[in-house]
Structure 1
Amino acid sequence: MLQEILKHRTTVLLCAGAMVLLPQCNVMATSAQAASPQLQTLFSDWRTFATPEQRDGAPDYDVKALSHKKDGLKRMQKRLAALDRTGWTTEDDIDARLIAAEMNGLDFDLRVRRPWARDPGYFATIFAEESDVPAHEGPSADTIDLFRYSYPLSPQAAQDLATRLSGVPVLLQRARGWLAKSNTADLWKYGDREFRRQEKVLSALLDGSLKMRTLEGQKAATLEGAGPQVRDAAQKALIATRDFADWIEAEAPHKTGPSGVGKANYDWYMKNVQLVPYTWDEQVSLLRRELERAQASLRLEELHNRDLPQLKPVDDAVAYRKYATTKMQEFTDFIIKSGLVPDQPYYRAAMAAQTLDYTPPDERNFFLKVTALDPWPLYSHDIHWTELARIKDDPNPDPIRRGAPLFNIYAARSEGFATAFEEIVMQAGLYDHERRGRELVWIMLANRAARGLASLYVQANQMDLATAGRFHATWTPRGYSDPNNALVGFEQLLYLRQPGYGTSYVTGKLMLDQLISRQAHDAEAAGRPFDVRTTFAGIASAGIVPWPLVEEALLPAKTLATAP
C-alpha cells in the first residue's frame, strides 16, 4: 500500500513478475489461454452490467436503479449456471469461478454491505495516485483517476475530465439522501477523511502543485492551458467536496450503530467472494499464530545478532537518496540473479521508479521508520509494481484475467504474495551479509498480523476503530506504530470498509505457503526435482486471481482432492 506509506511526501496525496520456467524443474505450471467465446461474451456483458447506472452524469443508487441491479444480477447468475460446460478446460472453469465470485460480490453489496447507504467514504471518487495493486483499495462509487491523464491536457482529455468532474457535485448531493438513514458510527466518525484528501487533491490540481505517484514514478498534474471548462468543473467539485466533508463531520456525533458486517456475513463473503477458505474464527487463530511467530522470531533474531551493531538511520537527504538508490539496485539484481523474476527492462524500471526519498524523523510513520534503517523490507513488498508492469507490458492472453477482479477479489493473492515476498527474499539470502535487516522483516510481519487481527474484531463489532488502532500499535514491536498516526487510522478504516483486506496480507501469504508445500510434496512423491522458482512462474502465468484458482491451474486434480 505504497500510497498510504508515502503520504508524508510533498505530493498532495499524497507479484511478482512473470517468472522464468526452469526446464530442469518438471513441476506442473500452465499458461492462461484466451477464454472460450461463450465466457468472453458473458464476461463482457457482466462487466457492462456491473457498472453503476448513470443519471445526469453521475452514478445512480436510487431505489429504481438498485431494483434493476437485483433483477439483472439474478439473470446474469442464471446465464452463468446455464452454460454448457461440455469440453471445458481447467482454464474455462477458473474463468467461470472468477466471474461467479464477482457476481457474488455484487450480491453481497446489494444485501449486506450496501455502501451507498452506509458508508459516506464510498462517494469519494477522485484519486491522484496509482495504487500498487491492480485496482483501488476499498469500494468507491466511481473512480476519476487523475494519474491516468497526460499533462498538459489535450482538448479531448480536458473535455473528458471536465465531464467527469461535473458529476461530482451531482453525486454528493444525491448521496445525502441515500445516507439519510445510515447509523454506522465508525464509518461516519472517520468518514470525512477521504473527502479531506479529495479536497487537497482538487486544490493542488487547481493551483498546479499536484504531484502523483505512478508505475512510472512521480509525475505532475496541471490545468494550465486546459481551458475554463475543466477549471470551473474542478472548482465546483472542490466546493462540493468540502461541503460534503463538513456535513459528514457534523452528522457523525449522532451516529451510534455498528459498522462491521458481523461474523456470519464475513464468513459468507470470504467463502463466496474473496475465495479465502478460512472463516472468521479460523482467521483469528491463524493471525494470532503469525503474530506470535513474528514476535518470537524477532527476539531470536536479536539474540543471533547480539554482537552486531544496531542499524542507524541515514539522516541526510542527499546521502539517504544515494543509499536508497544503491539498495534498490542491489535488491533488483538479487531477485533477477536468483531467478525469482526474469530480467525484463520493464521490471527493472518498475522497481527503480519506487526508489525512496528521505523523510525527516518527525514525519515518519511505521513503514518509514523501517525504511529509514533499511529500505529492503519495503522494497520486497514493492514486488507489487512488477505485477502492474506485467499487466501493462505483457498482459494475460485471457481477457477475463487481464485486469483487476471486481470487489478487491485480488486482495489475498496480491497483498499476500507481496507480504510473503518479504520473507522469501530473506530466506533466499538477501540479508546474509546484513543480518540486522532480518529483524525488520519480522517487525513488518508482526505489524501486518496485528492490524489484520484488529480488523477482524472490528468486523465482528467487538472493537471500534480507535480500540483497533491501539491494539494494532501495541502489538507492533519497538513502538514503531503510533495509534495517533494518520496511517493507522487510514488502514483500519480501509479494512472496515473492505472486509477481508486487513487479513489478506497474512491469509494470502499462508495460501502461498500451502501452494509451495503441495507442489513440493507432489514432486518429491514422484521423484522429481523441485524448484520454487517454477512455482512463481506458474503464479505469474495464472494471473492475479484468488489462490484457490491459482492452485487449480497449477496442481493436478488428485492433489487438490487428497491434500491435507
Structure 2
Amino acid sequence: MRMVSLATLAMLIAAPCAPALAQAAPAAPIERSVGPPQGSAAYAELVTLFTQFNEWKSPKPVNGIVDYSPATVARRRAELAAFQAKLPGFGVAGWDRHQQVDYLAVRAQMDLQDFTLNITKPWARDPGMYVDELQRLAYSDLPLDGAQRSAFQARLKTIPAYLQQARINLDSVAADYADLAIHSLSNGDGVGHGMPYRAVEPAGLIGWFADLRARAESQQPELLPDIDAAQQAIAGFRDWLVTERPGMTAAAGVGKPAYDWFLHHVRLMPYTSDDIVTLAERELERHWANYTTERHRNRNLPELQLPGSGEEYEAQLAGTDAKIRAWLKDEEIITIPDYIPGTYQEVGFNAPWVVRPKGPMFWEQVQFRDASPDHLHATFPGHRFDGMTGQRVTHPIRRHISDSGRTEGWGFYLEEAALQLGLFDDRPRTRELIYIFGLFRAARTIGDVKMQRNEMTVGQAMAFWKEWTPYLDDDVARVDAGIYIRRPPGYGMTYTIGAMQLQKMMVDRKRQLGDAFSIRDFHDYLMNTGRLPVSLLRYDLTGHDDEIGKLWRHVPLAQAMAGTGKGTPSGQ
C-alpha cells in the first residue's frame, strides 16, 4: 500500500471542516481563474436546452438495436458539440446559487456524453456491452401475446446481424473486457443483477438462451426458429472472441489524465485521483482497526450463524424491516412519507433466499447472518426508499439526474451512521458486518482508481480485494471488478468518497445552524432535492462555495486529451 506523509493525510482529513472553521477566522480568498459564464441567455433557456439534450442522450433503438456504426457515432459527436456550444452563452453569473447548481449539473451531463463518445467507447472496446443487452432479453417471461410477442420476435431476428456488426464495431477491444465477456458468455456467477431465480443457474449468456429455448419449446414453440438462429449467432460470437483474443491487448482503463478530467468535470468532485487513493487507504486501515477491536470486544459472544431455511431468513427480514422503520421514526432520523409501502415485501429486498452448491456468496454471507446492513443500504431507507422519493422530485432538471456519488454515497453513509446512532447497540456481532462492508468499499475504491489508471488489472484488483475483505469470493470480486472497470470511471469509489462527502456536508450544516440543526431535516433535504453530485448539493444547501469556485474552471475534453493519444474524434 502506498504510504503518505502525516502532513498530507492530516490535510486531507481536515479538509471537510475548512468552510465551517471560517466562522471563527477569516478565510483566505479562493483562487478562481474563471467564474460562472456571463452571457445573456436566461435560466428558462437552460431548462429548454437540457430537456432537448436529455431526450437526445439515449439513442433510439430500432427493433431493440442501437446503431453504433461509425457514421452514426460521428453524427452524434457533432450533435453533442452543438449542445455544448450553447453553454457559454448563459448569464449564470447573475443567477442565484440554486440555478448555478443546475447549470453545473447540466454541463456535467454533457461532459459525460462527451467522455463516452470519445474515451470509453464501449461499442468499440467492450464486447460485454453486447452480451449484457442480449442476456436481459433471455430473461423474458413466456408466453408473450400480441404486440409484446411481435416486438420480442423482431428483436430475436436482429441478433445475427447485430452480432455481425459488433465484430466490425469492436476494433479496439481491451484485454480485460475481452476476458470478462468470454467468461460471461459461458459461465454463471450467481451475482447477476436482475436475473430470474433458477435452482441451477444457467451458464452465462449461452446458458440463458438454452433456458429460453427450453421454455419456448413448451410455452411458445413458434419462437424456436428465431431462438435457434440467435443461439448459433451467440456461439459464433464467442468463438470469434476466443479466436481474436490474442490480438485484443488494449488497456481497459482510461488512464490517469482522463480519469482526473472525469473526476473534475463529470463527477464534480473536489479531489484528484491521488487524493482519493490516500483517503481510501486511510478508510481501509480505519475499518480494519474498528473490525479488529470489535472482534475483540465480542470475543466471548457466539458467532452469527447462517439461517437454516428460507422461512427462517424471511422471518429475519421481516423483523429487520420492522426494527429499522421503528428506529427511523422513534429516533427522528428521516421522514417516512405516506406513499412509502408499509411492508418489506412491497418495498422489496436485495438478497432472496438461495441455496448454492458452493455455499452463500459474499453478499449472502453478510445478509443471511443479519439483513440489517444491506437492508439499510439497498432497501430502507437506502436505494429503494431513495428511488421512491426521487420519483416525486418535480424539478425539470434535477429529476432526470442521478449521480452515484449521491446514491451510492447515501447507501454507504447509512451503514455507519446507523451504527453511530445506536441501531446496533443490541446486536454487537452485526457491528462487525458493518465494518466488513466498509472494508470492501474502501478496498474497491483503491482498486477502482488503479484499474482505471491502468495500474491494476482485473485479476490484480480481485486478489487485492480478497486479501482485505473477509468472506469475499471470486465470483463477487470478478463481477464487481467488471462493473467498476466497465462503467463510467469512478463508480466503484463513489461509495466511500460519496459517503465522506455527505459526512462533510452534514458537518458544515451542523456548524452553520448550531442547535437548530436537525438530522431529520438534513436527510429529508437529500431525499427531496434531486440526486445531484454531492459538491453541488453542499453549495445548494449551505452556500459554501470553496468547492464550486474550483468547478467553474472548464477544460474541454478534446483540449485536455490533446497529446495523450486518447479521444481523437476521427477514430471510432
User: Is the pair's TM-score, using the shorter chain for normalization, greater than 0.5?
Assistant: yes
Is residue 326 from structure 1 mapped to residue 326 from structure 2 by the alignment? no
User: 2:148: which partner in 1?
Assistant: 157
CA-CA distance at 1:356 after TM superposition = 4.5
Residue 400 and residue 256 in structure 1: after superposition, are their counterparts in 2 closer, same or farther (change >3 A)?
same
**Correspondent of 2:133 among 102, 126, 136:** 126
Cα distance in 2 for residues equivalent to 1:208 and 1:332 = 40
Q: Is the 8 A contact 2:440 2:465 kept in 1?
A: yes
User: 2:330: which partner in 1?
Assistant: 337
Q: Is the 8 A contact 1:508 1:547 kept in 2?
A: yes
Residue 389 and residue 556 in structure 1: after superposition, are their counterparts in 2 closer, same or farther (change >3 A)?
same
Q: Is the 8 A contact 2:389 2:528 kept in 1?
A: no
**Which deviations, in whole Å up to 9, do the C-alpha atoms of 1:426-464 show, x marking residues without a partner?**
111111111111011001100111122122221121221
Residue 164 and residue 338 in structure 1: after superposition, are their counterparts in 2 closer, same or farther (change >3 A)?
farther
**Correspondent of 1:399 among 393, 396, 400:** 396
User: 1:496: which partner in 2?
Assistant: 485
Superposition pairs for residues 152-301 of structure 1, below 5 Å?
153-180=144-171, 182-196=172-186, 197-208=204-215, 224=219, 228=222, 233-301=226-294
SS of the aligned residue for 1:501 comes to coil
CA-CA distance at 1:417 after TM superposition = 0.7
Residue 61 and residue 284 in structure 1: after superposition, are their counterparts in 2 closer, same or farther (change >3 A)?
same
Q: Is the 8 A contact 1:202 1:234 kept in 2?
A: yes
Cα distance in 2 for residues equivalent to 1:553 and 1:380 = 26
Cα distance in 1 for residues equivalent to 2:108 and 2:546 = 23
SS of the aligned residue for 1:59 comes to coil
Q: Is the 8 A contact 2:176 2:458 kept in 1?
A: yes
SS of the aligned residue for 1:431 comes to coil
Q: Is the 8 A contact 1:46 1:76 kept in 2?
A: yes
Residue type matched to 2:535 in 1? Answer: P
Superposition pairs for residues 371-450 of structure 1, below 5 Å?
371-382=367-378, 383-391=382-390, 394-405=391-402, 410-450=403-443
Is residue 42 from structure 1 mapped to residue 46 from structure 2 by the alignment? no
**Which deviations, in whole Å up to 9, do the C-alpha atoms of 1:176-197 show, x marking residues without a partner?**
01113x2521111112344444
**Correspondent of 1:354 among 346, 349, 364:** 349
Cα distance in 1 for residues equivalent to 2:134 and 2:529 = 29
Residue type matched to 2:349 in 1? Answer: Q
Cα distance in 2 for residues equivalent to 1:562 and 1:102 = 19
RMSD: 3.0
CA-CA distance at 1:154 after TM superposition = 4.5
SS of the aligned residue for 2:340 comes to helix
Residue 400 and residue 347 in structure 1: after superposition, are their counterparts in 2 closer, same or farther (change >3 A)?
farther
Q: Is the 8 A contact 1:263 1:460 kept in 2?
A: yes
Residue type matched to 1:118 in 2? Answer: R
**Which deviations, in whole Å up to 9, do the C-alpha atoms of 1:270-306 show, x marking residues without a partner?**
1111222221111110110110110001112123223
Q: TM-score, normalised by structure 2?
A: 0.77
Residue 356 and residue 119 in structure 1: after superposition, are their counterparts in 2 closer, same or farther (change >3 A)?
closer
Q: Could you list the runs of 5+ residues in structure 1 that have no partner in the other structure? A: 1-34, 130-143, 210-221
Which stretch of structure 1 is more off in the superposition, 360-369 or 463-472? 360-369
Aligned residues: 485
Residue 55 and residue 65 in structure 1: after superposition, are their counterparts in 2 closer, same or farther (change >3 A)?
farther
CA-CA distance at 1:89 after TM superposition = 4.3
**Which deviations, in whole Å up to 9, do the C-alpha atoms of 1:238-281 show, x marking residues without a partner?**
44333323322332233233221111110001111122222111
User: 2:568: which partner in 1?
Assistant: none
CA-CA distance at 1:343 after TM superposition = 4.8
Which stretch of structure 1 is more off in the superposition, 40-49 or 507-516? 40-49
CA-CA distance at 1:377 after TM superposition = 1.1
CA-CA distance at 1:359 after TM superposition = 3.9
Residue type matched to 2:119 in 1? Answer: V
Residue type matched to 2:236 in 1? Answer: D
User: 1:139: which partner in 2?
Assistant: none
Cα distance in 2 for residues equivalent to 1:265 and 1:562 = 21
Is residue 101 from structure 1 mapped to residue 108 from structure 2 by the alignment? yes
Cα distance in 1 for residues equivalent to 2:320 and 2:139 = 31
Residue 170 and residue 376 in structure 1: after superposition, are their counterparts in 2 closer, same or farther (change >3 A)?
same
CA-CA distance at 1:124 after TM superposition = 3.0
Which stretch of structure 1 is more off in the superposition, 235-244 or 276-285? 235-244
Residue type matched to 1:536 in 2? Answer: H
Cα distance in 1 for residues equivalent to 2:225 and 2:401 = 33
Residue 544 and residue 265 in structure 1: after superposition, are their counterparts in 2 closer, same or farther (change >3 A)?
same
SS of the aligned residue for 1:399 comes to coil
CA-CA distance at 1:543 after TM superposition = 1.0
**Which deviations, in whole Å up to 9, do the C-alpha atoms of 1:346-374 show, x marking residues without a partner?**
34446752175444473311111112321
% identical aligned pairs: 27
Residue type matched to 1:337 in 2? Answer: D
Residue 455 and residue 85 in structure 1: after superposition, are their counterparts in 2 closer, same or farther (change >3 A)?
closer
Residue 231 and residue 412 in structure 1: after superposition, are their counterparts in 2 closer, same or farther (change >3 A)?
farther
Q: Is the 8 A contact 1:259 1:496 kept in 2?
A: yes
Cα distance in 2 for residues equivalent to 1:194 and 1:292 = 33
Q: Is the 8 A contact 1:495 1:502 kept in 2?
A: yes
SS of the aligned residue for 1:538 comes to helix
Residue type matched to 1:291 in 2? Answer: L
SS of the aligned residue for 1:490 comes to helix
Cα distance in 2 for residues equivalent to 1:268 and 1:146 = 37
CA-CA distance at 1:491 after TM superposition = 0.6
SS of the aligned residue for 2:119 comes to helix
Cα distance in 2 for residues equivalent to 1:173 and 1:43 = 35
Query: Which structure is richer in relative contact order (CA contacts within 8 A, separation 6 or more)?
Result: 1
Residue 194 and residue 411 in structure 1: after superposition, are their counterparts in 2 closer, same or farther (change >3 A)?
farther
Residue type matched to 1:178 in 2? Answer: N
Which stretch of structure 1 is more off in the superposition, 89-98 or 506-515? 89-98
Which stretch of structure 1 is more off in the superposition, 530-539 or 183-192? 183-192
Residue type matched to 2:504 in 1? Answer: Q
CA-CA distance at 1:206 after TM superposition = 4.2
CA-CA distance at 1:111 after TM superposition = 2.4
CA-CA distance at 1:490 after TM superposition = 0.8
**Which deviations, in whole Å up to 9, do the C-alpha atoms of 1:503-544 show, x marking residues without a partner?**
1110111111111011011012xxx42121111111111112
User: 2:444: which partner in 1?
Assistant: 451
Q: Is the 8 A contact 1:199 1:242 kept in 2?
A: yes
CA-CA distance at 1:38 after TM superposition = 2.4
Cα distance in 2 for residues equivalent to 1:237 and 1:442 = 45
User: 1:367: which partner in 2?
Assistant: 363
